[in-house]
Amino acid sequence: MITVKHVPAAGGNIFARSAQPGRERRNRTAAPKNKSCRPASLFFFLLSVAFSGNCAGKQEAAPIDRENGRQYRNPVIGRSAPDPTVIRAENGIFYLYSTEDIRNVPIYKSSDLVEWQLTGTAFTAETRPRFEPRGGIWAPDINLINGKYVMYYSMSVWGGEWTCGIGVAVADSPEGHFTDMGMLFRSNTIGVQNSIDPFYIEDAGKKYLFWGSFSGIYGIELSDDGRRIREGASKQQIAGTAYEGAYIHQRGKYYYLFASVGTCCEGLKSTYTTVAGRSENLWGPYTDKQGGKMTDNRHETVIRKNEFFVGVGHNSEIVRDDNGDDWILYHGVNVSAPKGRCVLLDRIIWENDWPSVAGDSPSATAKAPVFGGN
């Protein structure tokens, strides 16, 4: 569930939402900046929340099951917040960021992954990235690197598959505001069409960025501060052209490459599905249960649509609760309120070292994660 708690000035045109190539969304021209009137900025931020898309439906509070503990009901964020990324700060609070259906990248906070509060935006109208003129900010990826909160983000306009790119921004606090450090690369400079959907990972003391959208999933080594491509580094492909929204999770001896296939943004017709493969090496080969390679677009399905939610994909980082259970956040279209893409939560079930969720599809109501004795 979501409530609006604190709303610092956001600025900008709330109706100029991001448009993603191949994702059926329209880009609109930004309105003039309002540099001096904080009440007006506050008004526009509140209005942006109102127009961001309420996809909760007729949601009632989840009941308490005395035998099974506290329950929650999906969606956990009932407004459109596609492509979520989450981090747990040093104070134990979770912060979630998403594609800017609320302009300038919304920031939500939670102590339990269930109750979320909208606290503001990562950027303002004056500080938002600008390397892609009139571009939207999509699919951020949040990390703590060398004591700084580092956000990788995509920037593009509809159809701009060769001019879109990935940038980086930093902040001292997860609540921002973030300072844009500029572009890492564009599609036409890195040589990968539709270079969006970044994901950062550290492995064996080195830092890497993975990315891609239906033109292959690629990775490359970063500098020690994570803000530049390492000099002399070259990209390497790890998955085929069926995927976007890549995320790699290490568990035991395996690396798991999660990704999304299908269409994300066609409302009730969306076919987005969360899939995965695994490897004993970060760079692959990632395979399905039969040994088919993700470079050949072979995978296992993790989350598929059901009667409640469709278009389920672009998952966040996996979070472990105090009981040792793993949880995954992802977006989906609520069949009962198909306006936007709301955020869903489910527990990962590990069986024979393969991930799944109960019923292979989103839960309506389930036992909640355990944090701090809740």
Domains and their CATH numbers in the chain: 2-367 (2.115.10.20)
Cα angle 200-141-346, degrees, rounded to a multiple of 5: 105
For position 371, what pLDDT does the model report?
95
Q: Which two tokens stand for residue 65?
A: 């099951």
Whether residue 208 contacts residue 202, with contact meaning beta carbons closer than 8 Å, is answered with yes
Q: Which two tokens stand for residue 126?
A: 């004056």
Neighbours of 74 (CB within 10 A): 25
Q: Give the span between the Cα atoms of 55 and 37, in whole angstroms.
A: 31
Helix then strand then coil, % of the chain, to nearest 5: 5, 40, 55
- Per-residue pLDDT tens digits for 248-273: 999 999 999 999 999 999 999 999 99
End-to-end CA distance of the chain: 16
- Per-residue pLDDT tens digits for 94-153: 999 999 999 999 999 999 999 999 999 999 999 999 999 889 999 999 999 999 999 999
Burial class (CB in 10 A: 0-12, 13-18, 19+), 230: middle
For position 56, what pLDDT does the model report?
78
Q: Would you say the C-alpha torsion 178, 183, 186, 192 has a positive or negative sign?
A: negative
For the cut 70, the answer to whether the pLDDT of residue 245 exceeds it is yes
SS3 253: coil
For position 32, what pLDDT does the model report?
29
| pLDDT over 70 percentage in the chain | 82
Show the DSSP H helices in 32-92 as ranges: 38-50
